[in-house]
Amino acid sequence: MKLSTVFLSLLLTISLNAEEDIFDESLEDIFNMKTELKADLGSRGAAKNFLDSNVPVDVITFQQIQNSGLTSLTDILRYFIPGFNAPETSVADGSDHVRAFTLRGMSPDQVLVLVNSKRVHTSALLHVNGTIGRGSSNVDLDTIAPSSIQRVEILRDGAAAQYGSDAISGVINIILKGVGHKSSVSVHGGKRYDGDGEQLNADSFISIPLKYDGFVNLTLQAKEQKKTNHSGDGITHVGIPDSKNFSAVLNAELPQDNSLTLYANSIINYRDSRASAFYREANATQEGFLPQISAEVLDYSFTLGIDGELANSIFWDLSNVYGYNQISYKVDDSKNYSLNTSSPSSFNNGELSFIQNTTNLDFNKKFSKLFLAAGAELRYENYKITQGEESSYINGGSQGFSGYTPLNATDDSRVSYAMYLDAIYNFSDAFILQGATRYEEYSDFGSAVNAKLAFSYKLDKLLLRSSASTGFRAPSLAQSNYSHTSSFGSNIEGTFKPEDEVSVALGAKPLEAETSQHFTVGGIYQPNNHTAFTVDYYYTGVKDKIMLSNEFVLTPTQQTQYGVDKARFFTNAVNTQTEGVDIKFNYSYSFINSSTIDFGIWYNYNKNRVTGFNDSSTTRENSFEQIDRVENGQPKENIKILTSYEFKKITSTLNINRYDSYSQVIDNQSYKFNAAWTFDLDLNYNISRDINIALGGHNIFNTTPNKWDGLASSTSHYGYDDIKPYSRYSPFGYSGAYYYVRANIKF
């Protein structure tokens, strides 16, 4: 045996947990072997095998992303993660342009998103229409070019005691490509079964290696998505919006000849997206028209940091992340009825923006059996609404979407501080205990202390794990300060700030933080190196969940007093409980003929319940639609069967999904939508080592959700049955099959 084979085998064995026959493999085969899949999430120590984690973690690799044939990160997570839901909504104003997503059926703002383990800012958009995610803001995942990503880690557990506010249903950590990736260019084109929804995507990834394994990586993506239309009347636009999307992602690390490493990353995104409102009927004086709502999204973040090691093996990391998101609304092909014939047809309706600047200083040190991490965080946030032009909001404003008024305009900031301590103690190789605590103070609502305790215990091939923690989510600046009102004659109506006298008259109180309790217990059984069974039960209780109230009609006395007809506002409306189970079976095997198979069956059962109401502004009776959306608006069960088979030059990937039924309420009546299966297939052919082409499809058998059952036909172009034949909650959209080709060249 050669010396080189021996030492390589040695090092690989550490990572591979390989069987002894690794010593009989050739060097080429050893270099082609897959090492264990690691994740940073879950603890602040070095990345570790995700199957050894004391909390449930999933990892999606860049190879999986590439073979999915998807060009949107939101779709990628929906493709791979059971319990991750991201409907494609339409005729829902801003929510058409910034997709809401949920994990375990909870609010989009109850998921914390990180890039390279640093907090990402959310979108300035607050979902205020009747969509999944109503009343919350989420990170706009589609700002990040998928080809810039090395892996995505998903922690399915509460982690506010480690990462701070928002980490209630889970944490998504997007790790950008680092050293060693080849430069590449790729193109992707496709269309829907019905011939619409054409998509053209081009991206390039350029990697420049630097000394000491440093690198500068730049990813550019340009994507054009044409709309789909499945409206019942053939006039209204019901489907995916027209959009153009440009992204640039920079990721760089510059190690020095001492222990210092300078690092930086930047994500810049511009999106121009266009969808419609409901059709406005013709009348005696004017023709009908279909208002077009355009959202220009500008999003960027800059991260700068430096890390190093002190003489006593204390590792430190100082970083600053500045993030900005802006949405500018325009409405075309519309009218302001009050301006009669002098009304313009195009309007500038105002702008939403959000700034988040986060500074972190972290330390960690490993003692013989103890790992300690401590750190501090300073965060500044600013939320702004800029009014639209007068014609967009005056006397009812532009049809389809009225502009933000001078009364809605706001400019609000806050500062928060946090300190944390994280400890992991290895009692033995088998028994590991983890504890974490975090103190956080916000300038606008107070402080919070949270804690987490987790353990893992390894019994030969079985790993048992459990965790219990508390968490919180501070009200977002948007929830505290958003208002959007329209005037109709002498009175106005719309969404008011919680502190507004109108809201207070209706029972609103200053917003408080949501608090949460989490418990998970489960285990992983690995009978051999190819197979893993995972079962995890979880429970999350949320107290004082913030929701956007129903629209209340003010009493005649109140209407006279405030000049307001109808109002809604954000409130700590309810308490919720989420519980469920994740069951997974993974099998991975390399055959003698050099073919490999990766097979996984993942099942998620998830149940959300509203268990308490905090005041009379929200009850099961007066807010049936809002409560039913929380409890039944998303599938309770999701099955994913993922198979990837690689043989010589061909890789085939099949993804079978089953989405459970769900329901949507219209006019206080709940309508059920059936469970459905969808199939995705990708066939990839490697022309050479560096050139590959592929063809594939998503939802290849063109499954569409069932239509409303029993809903009365609309008598106008405003409504559901005839206009919007499908529920906007559909977890797999309603645009049908999508077929594509793609090509990728590495250099």
Partner 1 sequence: MNNPYGDLFNQILKEKKVRDKEILIKYIDSIDELKFTNILYIPVSNSRKLEDILVKTKNKNILTVSDIRGFADKKGIVQIYFVSQKVKMKINLDSATQNKLKISLSLLRIADVIKEDTL
Sites of contact with partner 1 (CB under 8 A): 1-4, 6-15, 20, 23, 27-28, 30-37, 61-63, 150-151, 178-181, 211-214, 255, 257, 259, 309, 311, 313, 366, 429
Least CB distance from residue 87 to partner 1, whole Å? 31
Nearest to 525 by CA among 467, 604, 458: 458
Q: Which helix (H) or strand (E) holds 577?
A: strand 570-590
Nearer to partner 1, 210 or 687 (CB): 210
Nearer to partner 1, 14 or 459 (CB): 14
Phi and psi (nearest 5°) for 79?
A: -65, -40
If 0-12 CB within 10 Å is exposed, 13-18 middle and 19+ buried, where does residue 440 land? buried
Contacting residues for 172 by C-beta, under 8 A, at least 6 apart: 77, 103, 111, 112, 113, 114, 152, 153, 154, 155
Least CB distance from residue 255 to partner 1, whole Å? 5
Q: For 554, which DSSP code?
A: P
Nearer to partner 1, 305 or 522 (CB): 305
Least CB distance from residue 24 to partner 1, whole Å? 11
Contacting residues for 336 by C-beta, under 8 A, at least 6 apart: 343, 344, 347, 391, 392, 394, 395, 396, 397, 398, 399
Q: Cβ–Cβ contacts within 10 Å for residue 361, how many?
A: 13
Token pair 């190093």 is at which residue?
308
Among positive and negative, which fits the CA dihedral 497, 501, 505, 508?
Answer: positive
Nearer to partner 1, 65 or 554 (CB): 65
DSSP-derived 3-state class of residue 124: coil
Q: What is the dihedral of CA 42, 44, 45, 50, to 10 degrees?
A: 20
Least CB distance from residue 569 to partner 1, whole Å? 48
Q: Annotate 521-533 with b (16+ C-beta within 10 A) or e (fewer).
A: ebbbbbeeeeebb
Nearer to partner 1, 51 or 327 (CB): 51
Nearer to partner 1, 256 or 555 (CB): 256
Residue 107 identity: S
Half-sphere exposure of residue 269, counting CA atoms within 13 Å on the CB side? Answer: 28
Least CB distance from residue 4 to partner 1, whole Å? 5
Least CB distance from residue 429 to partner 1, whole Å? 7
Nearer to partner 1, 411 or 690 (CB): 690
Least CB distance from residue 215 to partner 1, whole Å? 11
Nearer to partner 1, 34 or 461 (CB): 34
Least CB distance from residue 362 to partner 1, whole Å? 18
Nearer to partner 1, 284 or 311 (CB): 311
Nearest to 674 by CA among 642, 647, 703: 703
Least CB distance from residue 246 to partner 1, whole Å? 27
Nearer to partner 1, 313 or 611 (CB): 313
CA separation for the pair 93, 314 (Å, rounded) = 50
Contacting residues for 621 by C-beta, under 8 A, at least 6 apart: none
| Contact predicate 455/54, CB 8 Å | yes
DSSP 165-204: TTTTSEEEEEEEP-TTPPPEEEEEEEEETTS---EEEEEE
Least CB distance from residue 73 to partner 1, whole Å? 18
Least CB distance from residue 311 to partner 1, whole Å? 7
Across-strand partners of 524?
463, 534
Q: Annotate 379-398 with b (16+ C-beta within 10 A) or e (fewer).
A: bebebbbbbbeebbbbebbb
Nearer to partner 1, 9 or 684 (CB): 9
Least CB distance from residue 7 to partner 1, whole Å? 6
Least CB distance from residue 261 to partner 1, whole Å? 8
Half-sphere exposure of residue 209, counting CA atoms within 13 Å on the CB side? Answer: 8
Least CB distance from residue 6 to partner 1, whole Å? 6
Nearer to partner 1, 13 or 266 (CB): 13
Nearer to partner 1, 45 or 541 (CB): 45
Q: For 127, which DSSP code?
A: -
| Contact predicate 401/352, CB 8 Å | no
DSSP 379-416: EEEEEEEE---HHHHGGG-STTSPPPPTTT-EEEEEEE
CA separation for the pair 477, 485 (Å, rounded) = 18
| Contact predicate 266/302, CB 8 Å | yes
Least CB distance from residue 214 to partner 1, whole Å? 8
| Contact predicate 83/638, CB 8 Å | yes
Q: What is the dihedral of CA 178, 182, 183, 189, to 10 degrees?
A: -100
End-to-end CA distance of the chain: 35
Nearer to partner 1, 35 or 670 (CB): 35
CA separation for the pair 507, 135 (Å, rounded) = 18
Token pair 């390399």 is at which residue?
590
Least CB distance from residue 1 to partner 1, whole Å? 5
Nearer to partner 1, 214 or 475 (CB): 214
Least CB distance from residue 688 to partner 1, whole Å? 18
Half-sphere exposure of residue 548, counting CA atoms within 13 Å on the CB side? Answer: 29
Least CB distance from residue 149 to partner 1, whole Å? 11
Nearer to partner 1, 62 or 734 (CB): 62
| Contact predicate 169/160, CB 8 Å | no
Nearer to partner 1, 35 or 555 (CB): 35
Nearer to partner 1, 7 or 701 (CB): 7
Phi and psi (nearest 5°) for 90?
A: -155, 165
Q: Which helix (H) or strand (E) holds 503?
A: helix 501-505
CA separation for the pair 585, 603 (Å, rounded) = 9
CA 56 to the chain's CA centroid: 18
